[in-house]
Structure 1
């Protein structure tokens, strides 16, 4: 019913009778009843409606390392959820059953911000993550959940491609405590052909997060054989991060598996991740990780000063934790970039589906 429709922000009317969505750089221009490319933002009468508000594709409790965030309260648990739709068109999407869904509105659970925040607190989660699909497209819902979480001492985490307009970006990240931004490649050609987007807006988001907010930032690049895994591209990306963001921003290189419209591309060999990590370290990045593979060295946090192993991981499980409560190396007292607190125990590698709302 009309009274249940949730009005979206970030749009304006055009002179030709259409309305333009300003949430992301796609700038969808909509006639009556049309939906944006993300599917969840729709013109109803003369306003923009967020059809995904309060609707989730499901809830799980995960280790924070699964996001992946290795320097944001390691070992803690995070309540994770998403909605339906996406504002990118990645041919390699590994959550395509959610991000490309056109039926999720009727299938999804209904849960408001207060219910989600209360559940996170009740389950002892340090944070809530907006993930599985991109929270950019359900920004108003995510921001309201973040507010409700903060009232209960729970942090808010965005797992995103970073493809967002300037006004929405400012409002959105004012509510977030941490973000993992998916830097899908370091060429505009890749973004245009394989993701239906452009590289520059993502770089602008990364620079904004690093230099104009207190949001804890980590970056992930999924390496796809023959698409974005050359030495030159990995070197260019690593060099840009070191120069424009700083060497202490953690970078995760993760392994691709054949999926969605790229099922004919082979999985990423572990040696590719090892090679990428070596290149990034050589370019001055201090914390470089490999993901979606068992690689003890690539999963371990080392002190950038004395190179002592500080957090030893196996996949998402922490095998050894030596950081001081203040986030310093116990051997040389060098500070480790991140958000840390007293480490008593870890959530571990398990993933627990839970039910919230109706």
Structure 2
């Protein structure tokens, strides 16, 4: 265990201030996330250096389509989460107690170095919620930066402002889940709050590259009005922020029917009125390519990205700049 950051005394124990839940943790107990424990009136993080999963993934799998496309990234995960989404895709590690291996920050950096030959650009903190792995991610991200590589967070965005501001200088890109654009969904389905996530998106997008993912669940967050509200709000922050609509399939505690393809296409059409880059996930090869937002010319064909990706961040037809961070290479 390692002493946790961001907590303070409370008359009933300790108050954790890492995320907006602000859990009051009594002696011997843990917070909602299950990884922060009060022992002798000191808050400890139980998952420091505990890695439940790691793999070398295409950067597009995160999904990040506009950050070093065609590269790979070494992805690490732990256990625990400050949400309890009914549809969680990684519930075995986020909500259960998986087997883990010890992995120090220096060891993680060395693994990333070894994968440079496979186009690896750095480390991604993903699979479970990286904000509840905060101390480890912060230490590792600093080491990754010193090694000249990139850090990526795949997160639900449910973190307090102060810890977010401390880690952001070491983060190069984030994919932030916006689970829905209504408060009731966040509270009932995810045990979270929309407004806190919105604040994270606004702050992060001014500090690093940001892409957004929204899982469309039939009857819960897929109404036309809600999608319009989401995309209008996001467009006011920056119309170049890529938005990924992901297709829901039954998982964990939720057994609703899968999202119809027609709903996915409808959402993309609505979003393109406000945003330059809108993608569809879990639909095979549909909705994954990048087109020029000005003339609609195909710029990046991800069906062929391993062999025939276009190497340009400017439209070959109208010369409009395409918002791409890093070289497009294979």
Instruction: Specify the alignment match of 2:242 in structure 1.
Output: 250
Contact 2:245/2:280 (8 A) holds in 1: yes
Question: Scaled by the length of structure 1, what TM-score is found?
Answer: 0.89
1:156 aligns with 2:145: no
Q: Distance in 2 between matches of 1:88 and 1:317?
A: 34
Q: Where does the alignment leave 5 or more consecutive residues of structure 1 unmatched?
A: 346-358
Superposed CA deviations along residues 25-47 of structure 1, whole A, max 9, x for unmatched, are 10000111110100011111121
Q: Distance in 2 between matches of 1:77 and 1:64?
A: 5
Out of 297, 315, 318, the position equivalent to 1:308 is: 297
1:175 aligns with 2:175: no
Aligned residues: 327
Correspondence 1:83-232 to 2 at 5 A: 83-101=78-96, 103-104=97-98, 107-124=99-116, 125-211=120-206, 213=207, 215-232=208-225
Q: Distance in 2 between matches of 1:41 and 1:147?
A: 22
Contact 1:216/1:338 (8 A) holds in 2: no
Superposed CA deviations along residues 220-263 of structure 1, whole A, max 9, x for unmatched, are 000011110111111110111111x1111000000111011102
Q: Greater RCO between the two (CA within 8 Å, min separation 6)?
A: 1
Superposed CA deviations along residues 175-197 of structure 1, whole A, max 9, x for unmatched, are 21000000000000000010001
Q: Where does the alignment leave 5 or more consecutive residues of structure 2 unmatched?
A: none
1:342 is displaced (CA, Å) by 5.0
Contact 1:231/1:276 (8 A) holds in 2: yes
1:27 aligns with 2:15: no
1:322 aligns with 2:305: no
Contact 1:88/1:197 (8 A) holds in 2: yes
Correspondence 1:277-296 to 2 at 5 A: 277-282=268-273, 284-296=274-286
1:333 is displaced (CA, Å) by 2.5
Q: Distance in 1 between matches of 2:328 and 2:161?
A: 36
| SS at structure 2 position matched to 1:174 | helix
Q: Distance in 2 between matches of 1:295 and 1:75?
A: 16
1:321 is displaced (CA, Å) by 2.4
Out of 1, 5, 8, the position equivalent to 1:9 is: 5
Contact 1:322/1:330 (8 A) holds in 2: no
Q: Distance in 2 between matches of 1:202 and 1:318?
A: 34
1:58 aligns with 2:53: yes
1:200 is displaced (CA, Å) by 0.2
Out of 252, 261, 272, the position equivalent to 1:270 is: 261
1:127 is displaced (CA, Å) by 2.1
Contact 2:70/2:328 (8 A) holds in 1: no
| SS at structure 2 position matched to 1:262 | coil
Q: Distance in 2 between matches of 1:175 and 1:47?
A: 27
| SS at structure 1 position matched to 2:272 | helix
Q: Distance in 1 between matches of 2:305 and 2:17?
A: 40
Q: Distance in 2 between matches of 1:58 and 1:110?
A: 11
Instruction: Specify the alignment match of 1:73 in structure 2.
Output: 68
Cα RMSD (Å) of the superposition? 1.4
